[in-house]
Structure 1
Amino acid sequence: MARVGTGTEETAGERRQLINVAYRLLGSVTEAEDAVQDAYARWYGLSRSRREEILSPGAWLTTVTGRICLDLLGSARARRERYIGAWLPEPLPDRAEWDRAGGAGSAGPADPADQIVLDESVAMAFLVVLESMTPAERVAFVLHDVFRYPFAEIAGVLGRTPAACKQLASSARRRVGDARVPAPAATGGDVVRRVKEAWETKDITALVGLLDPAAVMTADGGGMVGTVLRPVAGGARIAAYMVAIADRAPGLELLARSVNGAPGLVARRAGAVVTVASLDVSADGLVTRVWVTRNPEKLRPWTREG
């Protein structure tokens, strides 16, 4: 699953890849970092002679990280049942954008979010679809279809035959096949900017015109901050909700920012990020889905923004 090598430098070089795998499996930067740390702890817990017997430390670390994530995905279902309101994956900032704005510095340890490659496999719509899969389906699909690992190696993670892993990935692929391809970034960015302007001017008519009549907004406050506990369906209802928030939130600053590699919106109060919204824009330029993250624990990667 990874390059061959046995040295400390070699295993340390796998960290970025492992965090990328773990975030896509778990949808959480914090949990991904913990899973990778656990995998490294197990590696260094091996005797020196045992480590020297392992021809590909990267493959070993990926297998262990995958198994840790599989266990976490299994227990996550029970945790999500107790979660207050909707659960959404943690949104990711574009660090290059923050750096240009002078928000993130180069000193200090690297943030795990810095190491995650922003591509279509971390789009919020894609991560939400992954949440509908069984843990085994998700592991098989992400490792094979996203990271191109062979089923023979995925079998070692799942403890199943390569043929069974192939069937799991095929089942997961059918779920993903129902997900619509998002609009090009240029189109989506223009629509998001227009949504921002309409929200700032409290122009409900303009907002309704930008939202698909069947649009759905889902918010995640984790029971820690106020937000709607159930999805809001319908463009007109979402527009009314957004305008009501604008009325009740004086001093709130709305910024157009990249969220998980796609155009999104970030709300700040007194310089602190309090809300991150990912918008799914259709090819015809209408917002079809809005994912709003307000849970402070999920906004930690955004705290370095300036």
Structure 2
Amino acid sequence: MTWLHRGYPPALAHRGFVTALIAPKTDEAARTAPHDRVTGWRAGCSCGWQGPTVVDRERCPSPTGAVPREAEEDILAPEWSRHVHTEVPELALYYAAGEATAATDRVEDAVRTARWAGVTWDRIAAATGLTRSAAHSRWRRLPDRSAPTTPPSAPWRPGLSHPRLRELVDGGQVPPATMATDEATMVARHVKAALMHLVNAEEIAERAGVDLIASPLGSGPAYDLAALWGAAYDTCAELDSWAIATARRNGARDAYDGTSRWCHKPGGRLPFPQRHDH
């Protein structure tokens, strides 16, 4: 029996196994079968490490000389595993990251299945401990991996009619622009404000009984309205990513500091630089 931590290459240099301890061969023992001369077992590793614990055969009887399963699984293999984690400290991180990815995939599959079953964003938000807007923002673009059929209605987000616009929203990237730091800061703030206003508009509409993030399987005026809002939100979110990159490229710091305050000033006036004031 050998032991391996599979998947992470640095750990593959450590192959664990059981080493049998054999009593010295004497004239009297020469007439004894080899397995009868086994006195115990310890863990070993291909790197040369030997486990400090010896499992005594007298305490763990074995008619064949092979290590008892309980001793291997409960004592020797765990001792070797601790050795590997000491030699490869990031191995625990590798496993934790894998578990986190698997958990994320399970959550996304569950959200996707729920949406295709007609579950509202309110119920998804309640089940995941998020707000309705946060749940929609996080999972609105999940790729269709588990849907049993192609949606029978028009594609989701029909407002993205321009082919290039659809490419950008579906994963394209526009390089940041070069401009003065003040202007880059203002652009970033205004784009962020637009995104914030869209979210606020959705929340206000929802309180008024109008669902702007309806199911992609919908149809009719309510679906068309939700599609328009979705197109605006997706486009603005991509523009926000561009504005962040542009602000950073041009030396802007804390570009969004206070955005939630100044974009709701009385009268709706936004803080343009003095030379651009209106």
Task: Say yes or no: TM over 0.5.
Answer: no
- The structure whose Rg is larger is 2
Task: Output the TM-score relative to the length of structure 2.
Answer: 0.23
Task: Output the TM-score relative to the length of structure 1.
Answer: 0.22
Structure in which a larger fraction of residues adopt strand: 1
- Larger relative contact order, structure 1 or 2 (CA cutoff 8 Å, min sep 6): 1
